[in-house]
């Protein structure tokens, strides 16, 4: 089958379009004909080799962390899906490969596609929607009336997190450029900070939760907008010891992560707040709940641009520029 492949880790390197073996179908797997996939910053980081210590993939590797398509075959132990079902998923981290004609995934990572949206829209959701859900619902346990700051509100995670936070009944602030201010307000943001003109830490205070996907300078400033007991949750690092334990990291890697996060954890303790790192995990049950929110109108996918499968490298380059509003999607021919 045709696929876009990483042969060697290289920053901004092009993926190779080539032939790869058909996916192995395990007993608990569904085999899916890919209709659409979406591009994430995570794809670029994997291609660049930034995750090779945490995710030691064997090369050559088919890239792609989001998929929507149709089930064409199921393993003998599969009970929730049958051939012909329309699905969407974020594959398990160890079994990515959405930039291909077909992909096999454990059924636990898969959910039925929301009925009210297209394959392209469905493919835009899994990674970013699961990230927002796991940070805001599962980890932060957001409650009605609380205040949350979502950084980079026009990005893939931010655009979904704003909508989810509003659905949960919270007051939402976000950072973005002036050109996107009205747009993120329509998504549900109550306060919009133009990062080019305003310093968010001088404007915001008394927040319960900050969702950060930006760099270390923003991370440290975010501590200052939290009230005592508040939570700073980062999806861009640095990884902490709890994450190291979750992934079963070696003793050496646990010490590395302890050192990487030492400064921000120490600063958080001094201010009476907490810091944690979150790396999204595949979860079909949560995607099922997200699908219900989409079909009810509480969440809507945000697609910036759709590229044909042959232009996957161009889609990666577009995402690397960091200017996409929402998600960039690849449509199979």
Give residue limits of the domains in the chain.
2-124+301-331, 127-277
Is residue 67 within 8 A of residue 109, CB to CB? The reply is no
The position carrying tokens 């996918």 is 301
Average pLDDT over residues 115-121: 98
What is the spatial order of strands in the sheet that 147-150 belongs to? Answer: 191-194, 171-176, 147-150, 207-212, 226-234, 274-277
Note the pLDDT of residue 27. 98
Host H or E run for residue 270:
helix 251-270
Residue 171: which residues within 8 A CB-CB, separation 6 or more? 145, 146, 147, 148, 190, 191
Note the pLDDT of residue 219. 94
Tell me how far apart the alpha carbons of residues 148 and 170 are, in angstroms, rounded to a whole number.
7
Confidence check: pLDDT of 249 > 90: no
Give the CATH architecture of domain 2-124+301-331.
Answer: Alpha-Beta Complex (3.90)
Three-state DSSP at 148 gives strand
The pLDDT-based confidence of 57 (bands split at 50, 70, 90) is very high
Note the pLDDT of residue 253. 87
CA-based nearest residue to 267, from 315, 309, 230, 306: 230
Token pair, residue 159, equals 């655009």
The position carrying tokens 């690849």 is 330
The position carrying tokens 């939402």 is 172
Is residue 80 within 8 A of residue 138, CB to CB? The reply is no
Tell me how far apart the alpha carbons of residues 173 and 181 are, in angstroms, rounded to a whole number.
11
Note the pLDDT of residue 247. 83
Q: Which of the two residues, 196 and 275, has the higher pLDDT score?
A: 275
Each as own residue / partner, the long-range contacts of residues 179-183 (CB below 8 Å, 24 or more positions apart, any chain) are: 180/153, 180/154, 180/325, 183/154, 183/325
Token pair, residue 213, equals 């996907």
Confidence check: pLDDT of 29 > 90: yes
Average pLDDT over residues 46-59: 89
Note the pLDDT of residue 1. 97
Average pLDDT over residues 166-184: 96
Is residue 49 within 8 A of residue 76, CB to CB? The reply is no
Confidence check: pLDDT of 296 > 90: yes
Confidence check: pLDDT of 95 > 90: yes
Confidence check: pLDDT of 161 > 90: yes
The CATH code belonging to domain 127-277 is: 3.40.50.720
Host H or E run for residue 219:
helix 216-222
The position carrying tokens 């079994």 is 95
Please calculate the CA angle 129-33-37 and round it to the nearest 5 degrees.
Answer: 35
Q: What is the pLDDT of residues 194-239, one digit of tens each?
A: 998 999 999 999 999 999 999 888 999 999 999 999 999 999 989 9
Note the pLDDT of residue 74. 98
Please calculate the CA angle 314-15-51 and round it to the nearest 5 degrees.
Answer: 110
Three-state DSSP at 276 gives strand
Note the pLDDT of residue 300. 97
Note the pLDDT of residue 211. 98
Note the pLDDT of residue 54. 78
């Amino acid at each position: 089958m045709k696929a876009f492949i990483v042969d060697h880790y290289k920053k901004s390197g092009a993926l190779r379009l080539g032939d790869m073996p058909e996916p192995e179908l395990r007993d608990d797997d569904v085999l899916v004909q890919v209709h659409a996939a979406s591009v994430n910053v995570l794809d670029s980081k994997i291609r660049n080799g930034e995750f090779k210590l945490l995710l030691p993939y064997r090369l050559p590797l088919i890239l792609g962390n989001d998929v929507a398509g149709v089930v064409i075959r199921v393993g003998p132990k599969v009970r929730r899906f049958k051939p012909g079902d329309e699905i969407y998923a974020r594959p398990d981290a160890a079994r990515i490969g959405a930039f291909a004609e077909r992909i096999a995934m454990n059924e636990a990572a898969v959910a039925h596609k929301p009925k009210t949206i297209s394959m392209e829209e469905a493919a835009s959701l899994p990674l970013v929607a699961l990230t927002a859900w796991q940070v805001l619902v599962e980890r932060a346990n957001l409650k009605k009336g609380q205040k949350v700051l979502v950084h980079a509100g026009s990005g893939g995670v931010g655009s979904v997190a704003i909508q989810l936070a509003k659905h949960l009944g919270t007051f939402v602030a976000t950072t973005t450029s002036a050109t996107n201010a009205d747009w993120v307000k329509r998504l549900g943001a109550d306060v919009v900070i133009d990062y080019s003109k305003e310093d968010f830490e001088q404007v915001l205070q008394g927040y319960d939760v900050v969702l950060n996907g930006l760099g270390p300078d923003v991370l440290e400033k975010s501590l200052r907008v939290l009230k005592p007991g508040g939570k700073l949750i980062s999806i861009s690092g640095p990884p902490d010891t709890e994450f190291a334990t979750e992934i079963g990291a070696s003793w050496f890697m646990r010490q590395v992560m302890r050192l990487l996060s030492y400064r921000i954890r120490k600063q958080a303790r001094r201010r009476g707040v907490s810091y944690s790192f979150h790396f999204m995990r595949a979860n079909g049950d949560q995607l099922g709940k997200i699908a219900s929110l989409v079909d009810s109108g509480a969440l809507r996918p945000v697609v910036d641009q759709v590229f044909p499968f042959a232009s996957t490298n161009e889609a990666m380059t577009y995402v690397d520029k960091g200017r996409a509003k929402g998600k960039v999607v690849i449509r199979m021919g």
